[in-house]
Amino acid sequence: MQISDLPYPDPGEPDARSGPRFLLWLGRNQLGGQLKSFAWGVLHFCGVAGLPFAVGLGVEAVVDRDGGRLAQVGLLLLAFGVAISLGDTMLHRTAVTNWITAAARVQQLLARKTAELGSALTRRVAAGEVVAVSTGDVEKIGWFVEAVSRFLAAVFSIVVIVVGMLVYAPALGVVVAVGVPVLALAVLPLLPHATKRADAQREKAGKATELASDTVAGLRVLRGIGGEELFLGRYREASQAVRRAAVRSARMWALISAVQVLLPGLLLLAVVWYGATLALEGRIAVGELVAVFSAVALMLYPLRHFEEIAMAYSFSRPSAKRAARVLTLTRTEGEPPGTAAGSADAPEPPQGGDLYDPESGVLAPEGLLTAVVCGDPDLAGRLAERLGGHPAGAAEGPSVLLGGVALGDLPLETARELVLVQDKDPVLLSGTLRELFDVPASGQVAAGEALTAAQCGDVLDALLQSAPEGVTDPMDARITERGRSLSGGQRQRLALARSLVTDPAVLVLDEPTSAVDSHTEARIAEGVAALRAGRTTVVLASSPLLLDRADRVVLVHEGQAAAVGSHRELLSRDRRYRAVVTRETDEERGTAEPEALSGLDVGGLEELSEIEESA
């Protein structure tokens, strides 16, 4: 796999039982790239390892005054130089490729899991942790995957150097052969402590990231209640905890680095002292001493990769553990295998029909605009999610039926094509307005029609005013991340227009106008009713302006459909309905006459209608 071939057609099914298993799975899936990196690493390191022996041969040729042999040594040095340059260049190229492709595979897996879980992901995992996994953790996982091949190449070159010294200068080679394993294994007792401190640092950094992300997401609310300083203080404390943990971790890695410098230095001194003694006794030639000294000095380079692989594993293991935790999340507890993704026994998708929820008894007839009134906003959100089929994290229960077919038995993507659910807080991704509306759609509803129905005229004007010079079409104006440059009502209307463009067989809207004024809400209600005429639409709301435009209204009380009728019928005959829609207090409920209340509500509604028509 090359970088130009990304993204993967299929990132595969990961082994996410643990962090180490996930790292092993990634390495196995990049075996070809690892072998290439290993081969170029061997060429590079062996070229480096060959230099001391060539220098030793050159010294001996000079001592023996042999010009022909010196010329051969020059050619040998040139060959080693070419091997070093070519190997280093291609090693870097293949290592970076392994890093990026491993990170890309993890990102694709996380994106697929995010799409599968939808809005339920942030209810199962903190939003900040999702951000940490998909950014910093992905980089650290890729680092370890690519470092493995370079580490193995370094080990191979060290073995070649030791064997070469045993053959070239056996007396000194024995000293090196005994000393190198001590150098390589000396840091092992320190690694558990370093890993523990690195894990603590990663945990604190993750919590700080979660706190920062959640604070930014709720910044508007915090400003409204004056809680900015409180959360800023909390983030300062979390940030200082990360700093202290990072310092403790750095001290341990500094100690490991010191050991990696001290012990090779002691080995070098031992080789020089013992080699000089042997040379004075005439047991080895000067060239052999120079070669062994140079080889030991250059051995520090591949030995550094022992420290790097230890650091890479220490930092990537908790990152892989966090990624594996996200990748093991499932949508529905107790769901039969294959139903969420589709199977050979999945029924044929329905061509239409009524939408029915057996658990609550809510029925949305085909082709009608049905409003659902719930006194509990959380219950309304859960009902909206259930009406879409495949509710995330829901307990095992009866599936919603569309045309008599259980949505839970259909593949997830098929259920999403049939029923689109827009929740209370839809997300607007950064990009142009044209890109925002580039979603899977029937093609029957143009973007202009949807924007008009959602009353987005002022939104288009605002985007055009803030657009760079030369942008004349509001569809080419850019929206900032999550639409932060827009007001809550503007974001809500743009999201509604995007949902209308898709033109699904069934559209479920959860409080689609909660952030707009009453006059705009009335026009939106009429626009949605006109645009969705003949299509099944379910609106969960308690606004009289929306409810009066519905073909039928269902009151849900204590989780069950308790009453069905038109808005005005339910106002006149159902106190529970009036209590939700008119915010009637217990005192008013006990003293006011039903007829008088219903007359006031209907009259008020007619007055609002007249205002809307005049506007």
Contacts 24+ apart (CB under 8 A), 88-95: 88/44, 90/40, 90/43, 91/37, 91/40, 91/41, 91/43, 91/44, 91/150, 91/153, 94/33, 94/36, 94/37, 94/40, 94/149, 95/37, 95/146, 95/147, 95/149, 95/150
Q: Regarding predicted confidence, which is higher, 394 or 386?
A: 386
Looking at every residue in the chain, the average pLDDT score rounds to 82
pLDDT value, residue 300:
77
| pLDDT tens track for 570-580 | 999 999 999 99
pLDDT greater than 90 at residue 528: yes
pTM beyond 0.75: the answer is no
Q: What is the CATH architecture assignment of 355-614?
A: 3-Layer(aba) Sandwich (3.40)
pLDDT greater than 60 at residue 374: yes
Q: How confident is the model at residue 395 (pLDDT cuts 50, 70, 90)?
A: very low
The pLDDT of 2-9, averaged and rounded, is 81
pLDDT greater than 90 at residue 258: no
| pLDDT tens track for 149-200 | 999 999 998 888 888 888 878 888 888 888 888 877 787 788 788 878 877 8
Task: Give whole-number Cα distances, 333 to 101, 119, 329, 345, 408, in Å.
Answer: 33, 16, 10, 20, 13
Residue 378: exposure state from Cβ atoms within 10 A (0-12, 13-18, ≥19) = exposed
pLDDT value, residue 321:
87
Domain locations in the chain as residue ranges: 3-327, 355-614
Q: Regarding predicted confidence, which is higher, 117 or 590?
A: 117
Range of lowest pLDDT (9-18, 104-113, 283-292, 437-446): 283-292
Q: How confident is the model at residue 123 (pLDDT cuts 50, 70, 90)?
A: low
pLDDT value, residue 416:
86
SS3 assignment, position 557: strand
The pLDDT of 282-300, averaged and rounded, is 79
The pLDDT of 212-225, averaged and rounded, is 61
pLDDT value, residue 204:
83
| pLDDT tens track for 344-363 | 566 888 888 999 999 999 99
Q: Which CATH number fits domain 3-327: 3.40.190.10, 1.20.1560.10, 3.40.50.300, 1.10.1040.10?
A: 1.20.1560.10
The pLDDT of 291-298, averaged and rounded, is 79
pLDDT greater than 60 at residue 241: yes
pLDDT greater than 70 at residue 133: yes
Q: How confident is the model at residue 1 (pLDDT cuts 50, 70, 90)?
A: low
pLDDT value, residue 567:
94
pLDDT greater than 50 at residue 334: no
What is residue 468's DSSP assignment?
Answer: P
Q: Regarding predicted confidence, which is higher, 70 or 508?
A: 508
Distance in angstroms (rounded) separating the CA atoms of residues 592 and 483 = 45
pLDDT value, residue 614:
43
pLDDT greater than 70 at residue 428: yes
Distance in angstroms (rounded) separating the CA atoms of residues 1 and 575 = 66
Phi and psi of 19, rounded to 5°?
Answer: -60, -50
pLDDT greater than 70 at residue 108: yes
pLDDT value, residue 342:
44
The pLDDT of 305-318, averaged and rounded, is 83
The pLDDT of 327-355, averaged and rounded, is 64
pLDDT value, residue 228:
66
Range of lowest pLDDT (138-142, 170-174, 424-428, 480-484): 480-484
Name every residue whose Cβ is closer than 8 Å to that of residue 77 and which is 6 or more positions away in sequence: 51, 54, 55, 58
Residue 192: exposure state from Cβ atoms within 10 A (0-12, 13-18, ≥19) = exposed
Alpha-helix residue ranges (DSSP H) falling in 118-190: 121-124, 127-132, 138-168, 170-185
Residue 410: exposure state from Cβ atoms within 10 A (0-12, 13-18, ≥19) = buried
Task: Give whole-number Cα distances, 610 to 19, 516, 598, 605, in Å.
Answer: 64, 19, 18, 9
pLDDT greater than 80 at residue 380: yes
